[in-house]
Amino acid sequence: MPILDVEVVGTPLPHVRRGLAQRIADETGQVFQSAPQNTWVKVHFVEPEQYAENGGPPGEMLPVFVNVIQAEHPPANELAAQVALLTAAVARACHRSDDCIHVLYDPPAAGRIAFGGRLRL
């Protein structure tokens, strides 16, 4: 049951912003091969004035940060493939380049987070 916390820097155009959380959930649900209602997505928007990069202003394409919580990570030999698919899915949904998508995996959540109120050990 993956949980994604997505921070989009900048304000996307209305047609991109509308339904963005659902598009990300649908796209990434396929990446994780989740059953319906088992990939959860929260989207937050960060005003450009609240984002900076060292050495000067950010590039033209502003970043999207994706924090992933899963009960268990896939095996190491499958993780890189999952990251590539996840990056492409979020980029499509946000209308941004893959180069602008940055993915952070939290430590495995089994035994730490109660998914649906049930602690998975």
User: CATH number of the domain that 61 lies in?
Assistant: 3.30.429.10
Is residue 66 within 8 A of residue 6, CB to CB? The reply is yes
Q: Is the pLDDT of residue 70 over 90?
A: yes
pTM, 2 dp: 0.91
Identify the pLDDT of residue 119: 83
Domain count, the chain: 1
Confidence of residue 17 (pLDDT cuts 50, 70, 90): confident
Token pair of 39 as six digits: 């990939």
Mean pLDDT over residues 31-56, rounded?
94
CA atoms within 13 A on the CB side of 55: 1
Closest CA to 39 of 66, 86, 2: 2
What is the rounded CA–CA span in Å between residue 89 and residue 34? 14
Containing 43, the helix (H) or strand (E) segment is: strand 40-46
- Domain encompassing residue 110: 3-119
Q: Is the pLDDT of residue 115 over 90?
A: no
Is residue 2 within 8 A of residue 90, CB to CB? The reply is no
What is the rounded CA–CA span in Å between residue 105 and residue 76? 13
